[in-house]
Amino acid sequence: MKMIDSLQNASVKKWKKLHTKKERDKSNTFLIEGFHLIEEAVKSETEITDIIVEQDAILPKQFNFPNVTFTYVSKQVMKAISETETPQGIAAICKKDNVEHIELTSESKLLIIDRVQDPGNVGTMIRTADAAGMDGVILGKGCADLYNSKTVRATQGSLFHLPILTSDITPWFEKIKEKQIPIYGTALVNGVPYQNVNPTKSFALIVGNEGVGVEQELLEKTDKNLYVPIYGKAESLNVSLAAGILLYYLRG
């Protein structure tokens, strides 16, 4: 059993650096925290390189992974590598799953996210896409990083449940159209209320940036652009709320 209590330890320094996207990209790993996320990672056969346990943490009985070394650390070390205010006493380093392809069929349902910057929104939308039974999520360039700790936390483990691909969006339009999957944008201007279209066995829904929405160039290439009507005095809906309402409506 290894026990680390120095903040100067090389592993600790390496783990701390995973707070930055640069280091996550370089090392092709990311850090997750808490029992729930680690269980989800294990269930989905994500490659875990280290499990880091605070020395006094009490592990659930079934928490036993024969192929992974547990590293014990002091409270101070856990605090340094954690990005939550009240660490749960357990963290793990996972290999990133660099999805490069989502297999499309004539029944595929996709969520496409264009430049949504808040990691909480990106994570919540991944969780909702999972719940709504989507077959994949495409994160366009300019979105919050999938492996940002806030994104990961907001997914509640859904990042391990469905293929999530980071890619330019435009090339995917052709692939989606080839399968005759309707593409719906979201737009307040020149859009129609979502109730004007019918639920359908396949679709790709694109939602966009919190301030400026979906890029105009993309909106011009969709089959139809939808909006969620505002019946009261609110100016708008939060993007993840709009996404949830539309995904559940469209899938019927």
Residues forming the site for a second copy (CB under 8 A):
124, 127-134, 156-158, 161-162, 228, 230-238, 240-241, 244-245, 248-249, 251
Pick between residue 57 and residue 241 the one whose CB is nearest to a second copy: 241
Pick between residue 4 and residue 136 the one whose CB is nearest to a second copy: 136
| Range list of H helices, 62-104 | 75-81
Pick between residue 28 and residue 133 the one whose CB is nearest to a second copy: 133
CB of 47 to a second copy, least distance (A): 19
The amino acid at residue 141 is K
Pick between residue 157 and residue 208 the one whose CB is nearest to a second copy: 157
Pick between residue 174 and residue 235 the one whose CB is nearest to a second copy: 235
The amino acid at residue 185 is G
Q: HSE, CB side, 13 Å, CA atoms: give it for residue 29.
A: 17
Contact 94, 49 (CB under 8 A): yes
CB of 174 to a second copy, least distance (A): 26
CB of 2 to a second copy, least distance (A): 33
CB of 183 to a second copy, least distance (A): 21
Q: What phi, psi does 215 have (nearest 5°)? A: -55, 135
CB of 228 to a second copy, least distance (A): 7
Q: Please, which contacts does 20-27 make with residues 24 or more away whose CB atoms are closer than 8 Å?
A: 21/145, 21/147, 21/148, 24/96, 24/145, 24/147
Pick between residue 28 and residue 117 the one whose CB is nearest to a second copy: 117
Q: Please, which contacts does 43-47 make with residues 24 or more away whose CB atoms are closer than 8 Å?
A: 43/160, 44/160, 44/161, 46/94, 46/95, 46/97, 46/160, 47/94, 47/95
Nearest to 175 by CA among 112, 129, 122: 112
CB of 137 to a second copy, least distance (A): 11
